[in-house]
Amino acid sequence: MDDLLLDQSRRWAMGRPSFLPLCAHVHQHKSKSQIIMSNIKFVNSDNQEIKEVVVAQGANLRLKALENQIDLYKFYGKMMNCGGYGQCATCIVEIVEGEENLSPRSKVEETKLKKKPANYRLACQTLVNGPVTVKIKP
């Protein structure tokens, strides 16, 4: 998935707006395009806010956390994570608010998180489509 996003980023940087519909909802008003933005609030295990970031709708939760220096991984996960392919389940987060603003759980998540509460998600498999509050390292 990282390779796909990188390739799409290159196309967008070259002036091809085909990247936008894949990672953001675009609304057109007469001759203008508008990207709808969402907020992600990251909190720690004590529910204290670490950082709030603004992202385009459809953004990958793991990528946006890493881009904003949010440490998703516990010690083991820092060395042994799969790079965002949903294979290791080391990027588990708890959704405190806004669960309805996320993409549905994937089959990979259903398998990896079958013994976890319904509000636990794999950050690498989660797309943000509205305001959400995320607890890291639950």
Per residue in 91-117, pLDDT (tens digit) is 999 999 999 999 999 999 999 999 999
The residues that bridge with 127 in the sheet, in sequence order, are: 60
What local confidence, expressed as pLDDT, does residue 29 receive?
Answer: 47
Nearest CA to 99 out of 70, 123, 128, 124 is that of: 128
Pairing type for strands 49-56 and 120-122 reads: unpaired
Pairing type for strands 59-60 and 127-128 reads: antiparallel
| Stated pTM of the model | 0.73
Q: Is 68 helix (H, G, I), strand (E, B) or coil?
A: coil
